[in-house]
Structure 1
């Protein structure tokens, strides 16, 4: 990571895909495939249901347990359960509140929320509100563990382990210690001021080195921020606003979720088996926890609030009618809320952790017709996502106004007081370490300070990738200024908190570091990459 790296050097790093072999990942199965499928796919060992037979579940909206002093208080118990995800098969899950996805929290802009999480799982957890403008002590730093009953003394799980390594005999333990960690026993209160634009956020586990398998086992849920200005626009609402959490999984012969962990207990040794170092893909596409579901709709406009909660799978979404015609996907929002004006797509790429706010109009579809949401990057069963069956004609008072939001930041390139360059690439975790993923040539170390930014400063960051890396910044949103020296793509509109870098691609992003001082993170949101070193510390001072 260097402020002095030249643009020529940055682009050279991004273009040198052959350098991956020198970094030890030449054998990783996913890297030789289509670039958007960075990773290797697990195949389920149980019969899979036909598509569009399971009704789409809608996550429960959680009610506060108390309201006091202008703050809404919630409680969530993290616990193991079993659920019928595939018909007739019971699957063990780790959950927020006993469901997958976890319960949705709906809140108002500027109204604080406190969520008390109680950990009744067998391992420590950490909760991160992704997209939240959150004080550092509630942001879910990966070593601020909530330890369960009977767990060893605070810090013990992270003192020595084979961090991010393949299962090679020569891989040496990597010592890891965080003197600033603030663990708690059994419970922790996370306070979110929510002084931010209305948007679809999500919460998920963020424990150091074990984020990927914890999310895979079910630790993910939605958090929606609303305000009166958005509600006055007349967008589709009520039953015509659908949250859609898309996530791929694979199932073992006993019905459990298959995952190639080196330590299936998730207690000591992180990492995955060699073929999956680039990312873990499943062969079953779940939407709100159901396989290839179907939802009955009116012949009217619907607002689809889409999250890609997959560990590593990228999607290119298209809505296809019975006649093979693609319906327009009208994008009205991005990660951090509404756009200034709608943008219409025929298909829309979405990387892990990205969110898109879309309006789809079923008005012209025949009653009884089926509109399929498909993944143009998928093959076989992973080309299917879900379907909408048009059930009836109905009145539709909704609209999509030409102006959506007027509160987007007006930062300009010339406002940047600093330019930083970051290369996201494969490499080794140290002289004696295993294979992993690096930012600026270094794997994550919680005891090291990587970047210091001044509160209130506008900065321009130049990012470059070897393979697909969805890069996420905590605390702040940003504008995408360019890709590969060219203008941003249509889906880059609005305020983002995750940008999907394509293989060999560079991108420029512009942000203002405001909100709160403290220790935050930026990292790749391919969850396996994140666990295997592709994360860095950021101090707001």
Structure 2
């Protein structure tokens, strides 16, 4: 059984899963009402009968019943002249997301999420990607300073059976980057079916600050909403207007898992890999979260937050100190915007005894100095709208994507003011390839302190205008900018720029 090849339908061609033992269970993608959340603690409700308890224990959507999976760290196949070389296959796979079921996916190395690459500033990497799928694919290093030929432009694809060596200079500050498929017209499907992975770039500065970098305490968390067919396969239905919305949250490919933590400091790197859903995250009992980084790396100073809003494709890095919790404590991370238990419960932290001597520390005061941008030499307004005259199509400045057209030609080293104007009633997370920007103004109010550092994606709310200042460095060449609500980007909400000398 494999996911259906693009173009996808709502279902898949699937093998008979009678052997899974759940064949008589019509899977409804909601959690059992096994526990109610009350602050930081879980207050277990009493089931009316033992039979009821057994039924609830059997449902594959029971929250916090599975340990958090940690994607493996990929090892180089060779290291030569200061360059780390990796090899990865883009292929079909089967993974157990629901107990007793095998869910077909597309995956880097056949797993979901793909393996984590841990790279270092100033030490280039080459990643040889071999496409073992039956259709075109490619790989975009999201947030990376990458030459245009290696950016994963939507039209630069790897044919089935072929390979491409992506070269990443890693000449930028430490940041949580991620890689994903970007072949035009099918990203909503291929990312949903599993083609995402983490790329963690480190540098001396974050180590000087004492931030956790040991993989045991530095954890990437890929959050995405999904839905399931009754045989355990992913269910997808295209919604060009709203974007796909699932009824079950997965973290690293597990339904609302639990994470055993020691009484010490953890660095949690959150990626919203959902097609279109935004999350407002809150730690149980109103406990605060300390944000230290966003898309483009470290913030100038740590920011204490009671809630964290994260739009599709954004990354947020949090420090959570579990030394203040007693062994046996259960602390729940919730999405307070969830419309059901399946989209509210995100992750539970189970505090264990032990922890040992703390080798990491919470940074105080300034963590970095943000570079000063050159004065903008142009201003542009990009209206975000839905056109329905000849089929449903999202547009930027009343234009849909045309790979033969260059929409803007900024000069290398310059900056401009870009105004994203959103009169629509949908959120548009706008992403710029190959370079970063700063948020200058939001019509909806003051810019949050956590959004004042470097960004590559910004959520433009319904009715809002957001002004950003991109800096066109470090490479010349052709790149794209687009909405990262994946169905919007696939349906033409993408334009093309070329940085010139």
Contact 1:45-1:253 at 8 Å conserved across structures: no
Q: What is the 5 A alignment of 1:129-278?
A: 129-149=141-161, 186-238=162-214, 239-260=216-237, 272=238, 275=239, 277-278=241-242
Please say if 1:516 is aligned against 2:475: yes
RCO higher in 1 or 2 (8 Å CA, sep ≥ 6)? 1
Contiguous gaps of at least 5 residues in structure 2: 1-26, 32-58
Residues 193-240 of structure 1: per-residue CA shift (max 9 Å, x gap): 111110110000001110110001100000010112211211234222
2:335 pairs with 345, 368, 375, which one? 375
The 1-side partners of 2:213 and 2:349 are apart by 17
**Contact 1:123–1:147 (CA under 8 A) maintained in structure 2:** yes
Paired residue secondary structure (1:508): strand
- Does 1:283 pair with 2:295? no
Give structure 1 stretches of 5+ with no counterpart.
1-41, 150-185, 261-271
> For residues 278 and 301 of structure 2, what CA distance do their matches in structure 1 show?
25
Q: Is the 8 A contact 2:394 2:493 kept in 1?
A: yes
Shift of 1:404: 4.7
Report if the CA contact (8 A) 1:470-1:501 is conserved: yes
Structure 1 residues 404 and 84, CA gap change in structure 2 (3 angstroms): farther
> Aligned to 1:212, what secondary structure does the other structure show?
helix
Per the alignment, residue 389 of structure 1 pairs with: 350
- Does the Cα contact within 8 Å between 1:348 and 1:491 map onto a contact in 2? no
Corresponding residue for residue 528 of structure 1? 487
> What stretches of structure 1 move > 4 A for 4+ residues in a row?
none
Correspondence for 1:424: 384
Q: Is the 8 A contact 1:352 1:526 kept in 2?
A: yes
**CA distance in structure 1 between the aligned counterparts of 2:66 and 2:124, rounded to whole angstroms:** 37
Say whether residues 1:308 and 2:285 are aligned partners: no
In the other structure, the counterpart of 1:317 is 281
Give 1:411 deviation, angstroms.
Answer: 2.1
**Cα distance per residue 1:303-347 (max 9 Å; x no partner):** 111100111110001111xxxx22211010010100111111000
Secondary structure at the aligned position of 1:280 is classed as coil
Measured after TM superposition, the shift of residue 366 of structure 1 is 2.0
C-alpha contact (below 8 Å) 2:94/2:111 kept by paired residues: no
| Pairing 1:293–2:257 present | yes
Of 138, 141, 155 in structure 2, the residue corresponding to residue 126 of structure 1 is 138
Residue by residue over 1:117-141, the C-alpha shift from the partner in whole angstroms, topping out at 9 and shown as x without a partner, is 1111121101100000000000011
Structure 1 residue 48: deviation in Å? 3.3
Q: 1:393 to 1:65 in 2, by over 3 A?
A: closer
2: CA distance, partners of 1:375 / 1:196: 32
TM-score between both structures, scaled by the size of structure 1: 0.79
Cα distance, 1:45 vs. partner? 9.5
- TM-score scaled by length of structure 2: 0.86
Task: Tell me which residue corresponds to 2:72.
Answer: 60
1:90 counterpart = 2:102: yes
- The CA RMSD measured in Å over matched residues stands at 1.7
Q: Distance in 2 between matches of 1:450 and 1:538?
A: 6
Alpha-carbon separation, structure 2, partners of 1:334 and 1:221 = 17
How far apart, CA to CA, are the structure 1 residues paired with 2:404 and 2:213?
Answer: 46
> What is the deviation of 1:277?
3.3
